[in-house]
Amino acid sequence: MKKIVLFSIIITMLSCNKEQKGYVITGNTSGFEDGIKVYVNELSKSNRPIIIDSTTIQQGKFEIALPPPENNDFNYLTFEKINGNVVFLAENNRIEMTIKRDSLRFPVVKGGTENNLFFSYMNTMKKYSEKKIDLNNQRHVASKLGETDKVVKIATEMQEIIDKEKQFRKDLIENNASSLVSIMAITDLLNMKVLSPNEAKDKFEALNDTLKTSRLGKNLGAIISNAIAVASQKRIDIGSEAEDFSAPTPDGKMLTLKESLGKVTIVDFWASWCKPCRIENPNVVKVYNKYHDKGLNIIGVSLDKKQESWTKAIEDDHLSWNHVSNLQFWQEPIARAYGVRSIPATFILDEKGNVIAKNLRGPALEQKIAELLDQQKSL
């Protein structure tokens, strides 16, 4: 008899353990008709929504049991024939939601440390936003009425709110190194330019390693890396001295900008895969053939990745001037040094290597070259 009782206890324990795997979402709703379907969505590796389960609303309530989340990420609920969604963090805790149809963006969600932190963050940001809107309205009225002192006072209050909002985000990041909400806060501060790219990197590096390898962590890491690269680029404008460079030619020799300077020089950023570049090439060929003997030089800088594609395009388009490339696509160091973020891009230099015009195409390019060389001829 004791063996039977013991066996029953073990079975009960195993059953309980099985039930504890995963999590349950319970919902109390208002404004929804009975029978409306509720869908649980997650994001795939390609950032596309995938429905992983569904249930229906009955008498204003729903409940759905879900397997343990494989990834630390946001999921969201959508509703049949209703726009909008309810975002939440997938975690192994019972989650209770109170959802109103006319305010899906602001549900009341309880359950789980991540969700509690996330909704606390969202609600705090909402309060700061409402306060700033109210102060802006007050400032607008005071300004209309000519109440200068009041305008100054409101501006001071506004700055205090902004400072508190920034500090709230910074404190959250500092105290929650394992939370996805910290990823959100760093992203917000970076977008607001409160953090420099390098400051954002420092805060990102201080996060938990598993967090940094999550989908959102990888996305933020890429954003920070790109922001640092952009910030490090030198912007070369009209009136600037063009930065000298050295890079391989198609036959593998090294060529510098200084070696390529003529009375007027065009530094032409292009690529074989760039359709607008290829369309513009016949015009550049025409200008070069017409003005090369008068002192025009061109050095083409390609953002190609493959040697064969690069050299074939040079031959096919009859580009008979100097060419260089490190074959590093958008990581081309010359393009990054010149701040080039789209192609075709051109820099027109005088004989000393100073930039005197940028990004001219078609008739405007020929007109500028003619003007410069005719001007030098008359001198």
Using DSSP's 3-state secondary structure scheme, residue 299 falls into strand
What local confidence, expressed as pLDDT, does residue 17 receive?
A: 44
Structural contact between residues 357 and 370, judged by C-beta atoms closer than 8 angstroms: no
Percent over 90 (pLDDT), the chain: 59
Measured CA angle at 85 (ends 77, 19), to 5 deg: 15
Using DSSP's 3-state secondary structure scheme, residue 61 falls into strand
CA distance 118 to 112: 10
What local confidence, expressed as pLDDT, does residue 317 receive?
A: 93
Stronger pLDDT, 133 or 234, i.e. the higher one: 133
Structural contact between residues 89 and 118, judged by C-beta atoms closer than 8 angstroms: yes
What local confidence, expressed as pLDDT, does residue 233 receive?
A: 60
Domains recognised in the chain with CATH numbers: 15-110 (2.60.40.10), 115-232 (no CATH), 246-378 (3.40.30.10)
Take residue 187 and report the two structure tokens written for it. Answer: 């992203």
CA distance 327 to 223: 23
What local confidence, expressed as pLDDT, does residue 362 receive?
A: 87
Q: Which of 20-24, 58-62, 149-153 has the highest mean pLDDT?
A: 58-62
Q: What is the pTM of this model?
A: 0.57
User: In whole angstroms, how large is the CA radius of gyration of the chain?
Assistant: 31
Q: Give per-residue pLDDT as tens, 96-132.
A: 999 999 988 889 998 889 999 999 999 999 999 999 9
Q: Give per-residue pLDDT as tens, 185-219.
A: 999 999 888 888 899 999 999 999 989 888 888 88
Take residue 261 and report the two structure tokens written for it. Answer: 């300077």
What local confidence, expressed as pLDDT, does residue 240 receive?
A: 83
**Residue with the two structure tokens 């930065």:** 243
The DSSP annotation for 12-54 comes to HHHHHHHHHSSEEEEEEEESPPTT-EEEEEEE-TTS-EEEEEE
Does the structure show a pLDDT above 60 at 283?
A: yes
What local confidence, expressed as pLDDT, does residue 327 receive?
A: 92
**Residue with the two structure tokens 């309880």:** 110
CA distance 272 to 317: 10
Does the structure show a pLDDT above 80 at 226?
A: no
Q: How confident is the model at residue 138 (pLDDT cuts 50, 70, 90)?
A: very high
Does the structure show a pLDDT above 50 at 23?
A: yes
Does the structure show a pLDDT above 90 at 270?
A: yes
What local confidence, expressed as pLDDT, does residue 13 receive?
A: 44
Bridge partners (DSSP) listed for residue 63: 26
